[in-house]
Amino acid sequence: MSSVLYYFLAFTGINILMCWSIYLPYRVGQLHYLTVACMLASAYFSGFAAREWSWPFALILAAGILIGVLISLLPSFAIGDAPCFTVVIVGLTIIFIFKTAVENSAALGGTIGFFGIPEVQHLLPLTYLLLAAAGAFIYRIDHSRLGRAASVVFVDKNTAAALGVDVKQLGMFFQIAAGGIAGLAGTLYAFLIGSLFPEFFNLGVIGTLMCMLFTGGHSTMWGVVVSVPILEGMQLLLPSAIASWRQVIYALTLIVIILLLPGGLITKRTLVRFKGRSRA
């Protein structure tokens, strides 16, 4: 397999995981950017555990997920049912605090960065195996009572509460699950790139994830499965003459998609139509 295809597939897999980690809390109307902080913490921990303690990959993977879960768990007690923008600012603030902590930590390479994370064999198939597992988990949630409750919360919290939904607990569950998925993505990211730098985790990452989520469609988990490969591929295929306008093209794409296709490329209605055709 060519290097271009390898990295395209690997980043596509990791970005789908990260988009899902934003998608899940957005099911209850929360933009939970804290998942980027989970990714950062898990990536650095994984790199450190692999290089300094020589932990086996499986153990690091489990620890990475656990770190993501723990980081999401604590704030979720306070922001489980918080308004969307409080969740946004809490997320951005924790990313900033984590970045500052890394920049001030000599053990994690400080501002210079963290080098020399050992390679893992068969990382790409592993990534897709874990992606499938995470996908199955989200699919189950989406098609359970939790998923239906989340759909009601998204439309109207008060109605959901009247129907007996514990809005806070539901929000906490989605935030914690998202943290775990982001932790997984962080571990895979660290092993894929092989070195870490605090600036890897900035506002640009959030912008890219939002673009992917809203272009693909935020109402189903399948939206990002379509949009991530398209947007990843687009940045590889753009001719160099217009490559320098990539950010502008992304921003315009997102605005146009949101205006013309409000639900994104794949909506629940698209899926229903698709299922109908398959049955026919």
Q: Which CB sits closer to another protein, 93 or 137?
A: 93
Alpha-carbon distance of 132 to 126, in angstroms, equals 10
Length of the chain: 280
**Which spans of this chain sit near another protein (rule: CB under 8 A)?**
2-4, 6-8, 11, 29, 31, 75, 78-79, 82-86, 88-90, 92-94, 96-97, 100-101, 103-104, 110-113, 115-116, 193-197, 199-200, 203-204, 207-208, 210-211, 214, 232, 235-236, 240, 243-248, 250-252, 254-255, 258-259, 262
Percent helix, strand, coil in the chain, to 5, is: 75, 0, 20
Q: Which CB sits closer to another protein, 31 or 165?
A: 31
Shortest distance in whole angstroms from residue 202 CB to another protein: 9
> How far from each other are the two terminal CA atoms of the chain, in whole angstroms?
38
Nearest of 35, 133, 52, 136 to residue 92 by alpha carbon:
35
Q: Which CB sits closer to another protein, 4 or 58?
A: 4
Shortest distance in whole angstroms from residue 260 CB to another protein: 8
Angle at 114 between CA 67 and CA 19, to 5 degrees: 45
Q: Which CB sits closer to another protein, 62 or 202?
A: 202
Nearest of 9, 19, 28 to residue 168 by alpha carbon:
28
Shortest distance in whole angstroms from residue 168 CB to another protein: 11
Q: Which CB sits closer to another protein, 89 or 275?
A: 89
**In which residue are the tokens 């959030």 written?**
206
